[in-house]
Structure 1
Amino acid sequence: MAHIEASFFKHRFDDDTFSKNMVEALTHAVGSVLGEDAANETAIILRGVDPAHWGYKGELQG
């Protein structure tokens, strides 16, 4: 079974379709690499992170 955790800026979740579309896309990606059986056993957790708590290239993004 695949287990995927993905983090995004919180504002991504303002779009009501974001979570559904992301879960579908990640599940499809697993299936395209590992096969349909693996896709059917894939668990996905999406996390929203405040940009003030997200660092990139040594700087906070918020």
Structure 2
Amino acid sequence: MNRTRVETVMTYEDWCKVHRKTLKRMFRDTAFTCIQWIAVLLITVGLPIGMIAHWLLIGY
């Protein structure tokens, strides 16, 4: 069975729209990943440091 591939030609305006959409998606994914890493770091580092600081300041 012989399959033929359909080639689509994009205009410059179409390419700009697709590129802009891809850039927005990449930015959104990168921002979401950064927010996730910040949350993980706050939980894993900030919580123990906060507990130690509380113990030093309050004493119990």
Per the normalisation by structure 2, the TM-score is: 0.34
Determine which structure has the larger helix proportion and give its number. 2
- Please say which structure displays the higher CA radius of gyration: 2
TM-score calculated relative to the size of structure 1: 0.33
Structure ranking higher on relative contact order (CA contacts 8 Å, 6+ apart): 1
